[in-house]
Amino acid sequence: MVVFFNFLKLYATKRNIIIGILLIVLFNVLLLPEFSKLFFKCSIDINSILDLKFSYTITEAYFLIENLRENGRNTYKLTLLLIDFPYALMYGFVYAFIIIKLLNRTTLKRFYYLSVAPFLISWFDVLENSGIILMLSKYPTKLNVICNLTSIFTSLKWIFAAITFLIIISLFINLMYLKALKKN
């Protein structure tokens, strides 16, 4: 684990963080919303995307999956595989880099383990994507246990996203406080 944290510290540079933030914006503004239109001539209604919900029931999930129709289900599957999996890995590293960089500039360096939180978002995102792909692939067969687990993974992803956001905001506030103290 120490080797991993040393790796994060080594690559948590301002340059890598800026490039990462630009890539996150690119993914959110262009690739995620436009991928299906650009490559598959199929538009997926944002309300049909399970990843964007906090949780869902079996009935809700399969209602959305059914309404996608075959072309929409295939497009959703490919979007998860080609866009969302790499995106999950990328944002995990970028947010961890931000946390490490902020920790190194504060008096809280000993809390380096907080940089694990973004990887928990990524982990649950990958599990969620895997579950959704499985449900889409096996449709019309309903995989109730997989659906319930996938909904839990979705909720855990959003919970760790909120925790990561709070960590970053708290570290930023701590950094601003330290800067204010130095001025006085």
Q: 90 lies in which domain range?
A: 2-183
| The length of the chain, given as a count of residues | 184
| pLDDT 10s digits, 70-113 | 888 888 898 899 889 999 999 999 999 999 999 988 877 788 89
Residues 21 and 8: their CA atoms lie apart, in Å, by 16
**Which residues, other chains included, contact 130 with Cβ-Cβ below 8 Å and sequence gap of 6+?**
none
Residues 8 and 10: their CA atoms lie apart, in Å, by 5
- Predicted TM-score (pTM) of this structure: 0.89
Cis geometry, peptide bond prior to residue 140 (ω within 30 degrees of 0): yes
Q: How many domains does the chain have?
A: 1
| pLDDT 10s digits, 129-146 | 999 999 999 999 999 999
Q: What is the dihedral of CA 145, 149, 150, 151, to 10 degrees?
A: 110
Residues 125 and 131: their CA atoms lie apart, in Å, by 10
Instruction: Please say whether the beta carbons of 90 and 20 come within 8 A.
Output: yes
Which amino acid does the sequence have at 101? K
